[in-house]
Amino acid sequence: MSQIAFEILDEAGRHVGSATLVLTVYQLSLDVDADRDGFIDKENPSKSRWEWGAGGTGAILLVNNDNDDVTTDKNPDNRNCAVDGEMDLKDMSPMAVRMRGPTDLPKEYIIWLHTSSENAQRIGIFHLRDGAILFTSSAGSSGSNIHHVIGPAAGNMAELDWKVNPTDNTMTYNFAVEALHYPDVDFDGAVSIHLSLRKGAGKPIFEETVVFRVAPWVMTPTTLPPQEVYVSGVVEPEENSQFIRDIRQLTTRAGVKLTIAAPAQNGGSDRWMQNELEVGYSEAPGRAPMPVAFSSPRYGGLQPFPRTKLLGPDFGHFSHYQLGEDPTSLDSFGNLEVSPPVKVNGVDYPLGRILVGSSLARGNPGRRMMDTLLNFLRAQRVQPPVLLYSDWLEVGHVDEFVTFVPATNGKGFRMLLSSPDACYRLLERLRDGGYGEAALFQGVGFSLKEGAAVTVNNLLEDSSLKKQNALYQIYINENREILKKELGMTEEDIIDLPQLYREVTEPSADTPGRAAAAFPNLVNMLVLGEFLGIPKPFGPIINGTCALEQHVTSLLEPLGLSCEFLDDWYSYHVFLGEVHCGTQTRRQPSAFKWWEMTL
């Protein structure tokens, strides 16, 4: 309380009276980690705005979609409107209301913490009473010292009592804030929270605002260090035990953990781990990045795997599609890749750019990724998608013609593209060297009864196959130009891998003919740092060595890479997929912080 004394004088300067103005000062502040150092600020003047960039300001929320109460609840924490112990609190962002002043607030004055009704569906705010940081729960409820005050089940407003310690006339309300949803087409990720002092139902006498932004879901390119590989062990229609043994040997060499989805976890036959999920991450200041598995809407036998085996403490999971939507093959996540960091016409993309296959890249009617997924990816903002033309392929995935590998020079990576022209040039060199009758695909076939063996001359003389691949090369060249333009690539950044495709569906009045790899697709590889798990192509054996393997090795080993060729013919190739299609890799998150991007 402060007093100001006034002396009243007449025109002659004589004292005619006095007055005293008594000022009662109430201090209120709403504080967050606006400077992004992992700790709550005190009266940061920039807390009411959110700015991108290394010098930017504004607090950050994680989508709390891990599961810190695995003993009683198999769902992500953002579904339960509760705090599941101390680990769950660490997934939330701190917020504080600070009070200072007399012990009582005048009658009719009310303090409100509030947000919009829309934002109340996107966040959860929990009041942490004394001892809440030490709170643990085995029952999955928040307990008496944590109170859910704002969120879908609590509404968008919470009244706060004016309570100050009579010793120092201060009080701090501590809160934990979680995000429930990622940015999307109707949500830009920004959330404003307000603290207001009102008299009755009147307008605010005082109001402070803080702004959070929800951390996006971020993908990791194949050039980042691997941490864990997932593969599915199946028993029908063709078991893959030898393939899994080969993958185990490769991951052991690379020093990477291997997790196998048993038949009971994949319906016995769903081998397409890459198509089922993509493991990315989300990150906020003051804590380690959290891996997050994104499930595709393909409804396969592996659908329960990420929720039942990956979801847990500090491992998130979510899916994103509308009920009733009918997914196509292009909605599976072999059709979802991301480039390494690139710079394009002076614009940095430090987290790379997402690559999605579609018919839209050519402006053609046909299959494309559903709008629900593509709009979600665009809404994350930090890895703007590039559309490529993939509808010419039966499966229709970008990983059937492009990938990236680390390199010890240049940009630090190379882009690998499938190339029918490169394959025909290699076959012609073999023929001209006297190996025209050397056989390819020995000992394998497109079924156990149908052998696939042909000679170099057979392939070169097959005019129908040549005509088909001339068209497929046109499609790949179109994608090459898109990638060069959108990723700032040059020809020196690109390596062509020999590959032929074959028509597997004939054109009709309604649909074009579509293709698949004619032999195991070399570009559809598993990249584990310097170790590459490449589909074994079963090329012609020249002087005891597969000519295709030797050629690929000569292209990649000078980059500091080690090539391991894995036999996936019967376990994946005959089902129109390869090594990459059958695996998923959790990778080390980027060292670059997404909030430091300039947007």
So where are the chain's domains? 28-214, 226-595
Check for a shared fold between 28-214 and 226-595.
no
Q: How far apart are CA 214 and CA 236, in angstroms?
A: 43
Q: How far apart are CA 425 and CA 591, in angstroms?
A: 41
Q: What tokens were used for 457? A: 């001359």
Distances (CA, A) of 63 to 15, 214, 221, 541, 543: 67, 7, 22, 53, 57
Residues annotated as catalytic (active site), given as ranges: 581
Planar angle of CA 494, 498, 502, nearest 5 degrees? 125
Which H helix or E strand runs over 260? Answer: strand 257-261
* DSSP assignment string, 396-450: --GGGTEEEEE-SSTTSEEEEEEEHHHHHHHHHHHIIIIITT-EESTT-BSSSSS
Q: How far apart are CA 62 and CA 215, in angstroms?
A: 5
Distances (CA, A) of 114 to 319, 368, 551, 553: 29, 41, 65, 61
CA atoms within 13 A on the CB side of 269: 5
Q: How far apart are CA 77 and CA 88, in angstroms?
A: 8
Backbone angles phi and psi of 423, in degrees to 5: -65, -45
β-pairing, 402-406 with 413-419? antiparallel
CB 124 within 8 A of CB 222: no
Q: What tokens were used for 66? A: 């891990």
Of 405, 62, 412, 49, the residue nearest 218 (C-alpha) = 62
Please, which residues bridge with residue 372 across strands? none
State the SS3 of 167-190.
CCCEEEEEEEEEECCCCECCECCE
The one-digit pLDDT tens for each residue of the chain (599 residues) are 567 888 888 888 888 888 877 777 889 999 999 999 999 999 899 999 999 999 999 999 999 999 998 776 789 999 988 998 899 999 999 999 999 999 889 889 999 999 999 999 999 999 998 644 433 333 334 456 899 999 999 999 999 999 888 889 899 999 999 999 999 999 999 999 999 999 988 889 999 999 999 999 999 999 999 999 999 999 988 899 999 999 999 999 999 999 999 999 999 999 999 999 999 999 999 999 999 999 999 989 999 999 999 999 999 999 998 877 889 999 999 999 999 999 999 999 999 999 999 997 677 778 999 999 999 999 999 999 999 999 999 999 999 999 999 998 889 999 999 999 999 999 999 999 999 999 999 999 875 556 778 999 999 999 999 999 999 999 999 999 999 999 999 999 999 999 999 999 988 776 778 999 999 999 999 999 999 999 999 999 999 999 999 999 999 999 999 999 999 999 999 999 999 999 999 999 999 999 999 99
Question: Could you tell me which residues come within 8 angstroms of residue 199 by beta carbon, excluding any fewer than 6 positions away?
Answer: 108, 109, 110, 205
Q: How far apart are CA 427 and CA 47, in angstroms?
A: 65
* DSSP assignment string, 276-310: HEEEEEE--TTS--EEEEEE-S---TTTTHIIIII
Residue 450 has what pLDDT?
Answer: 63
The fold of the 28-214 domain, in CATH, is Immunoglobulin-like (2.60.40)
Which residue is listed with tokens 């740092």? 529
Q: How far apart are CA 185 and CA 561, in angstroms?
A: 40
Q: Which value, to the nearest 10 degrees, does the dihedral of the CA atoms of residues 321, 278, 390, 340 take?
A: 130
CB 192 within 8 A of CB 548: no
Planar angle of CA 507, 511, 516, nearest 5 degrees? 65
Of 382, 384, 360, the residue nearest 371 (C-alpha) = 360
The fold of the 226-595 domain, in CATH, is L-arginine/glycine Amidinotransferase; Chain A (3.75.10)
Q: How far apart are CA 362 and CA 144, in angstroms?
A: 59
Residue 139 has what pLDDT?
Answer: 32
